[in-house]
Amino acid sequence: MSNADEQSAGELLWQQAREKYEDPASDLKSIADGLGINRPKLIAEALRRGWKLRTGTRKNSTRATIQRFKDLLQKRLAQLEGEIDEIGEAVSSATSERDIRPVNMLVRTLEKVLELERKDRTHRARKLKERRKFDDAARDELARRLTALHDERDPSLPEQIPVAAGGSGSSEGLAELGAAQPADSA
């Protein structure tokens, strides 16, 4: 097989991979395995080649579901308003009763959707708070370990003087200071 044939076959393979990559239903790991590379390399190659990026949004997330419910409720409300406008002035009690039922159902559904949204917000806030607690605990553990290392340090070693931020760390040209003495008044 010639070099041109190998390049053509390679480009065909990448074109097929692109079609699979741009399909959100396909699995990145299986695409990468088919090319003999790992997922991060596949993503980097997709960026380099200018492929359509896959969005990180999850269609099955709670927020997306709640938003779809809200959109459906908006459409249904618009339909009901249109039907009420068509009826006009000639409204009988039977017609108005029939029109009130769907509105009542719509209101109950909206209340349930808003309750789901509130629960989702509460759940997210709780998870964020737990993550912060974990971060604080990790910092405390790191501080404890650093203190223990400092306490175990050989006392015969001189105490290091911290270098000012941005300095080179060298102390050349500095005079050694002796005991403090009062300044001579001239």
Q: Give residue-wise pLDDT tens across range 8-45.
A: 777 888 888 888 888 877 888 888 888 889 988 988 88
pLDDT of residue 18: 87
Positive or negative torsion for Cα 163, 167, 170, 175: negative
pLDDT at 125 over 50: yes
Q: Give residue-wise pLDDT tens across range 140-174.
A: 888 899 888 888 876 666 666 555 555 555 555 55
E strand or H helix that includes residue 153: none
Helices 28-35 and 3-21 sit at what angle, rounded to 10 degrees? 170
Q: What percent of the chain has pLDDT over 90?
A: 2
Contact of 51 with 22, CB cutoff 8 Å: yes
Angle at 27 between CA 46 and CA 24, to 5 degrees: 70
50: left (phi over 0), alpha (psi -120 to 50) or beta: left
Mean pLDDT for 100-118 is 84
Contact of 95 with 124, CB cutoff 8 Å: no
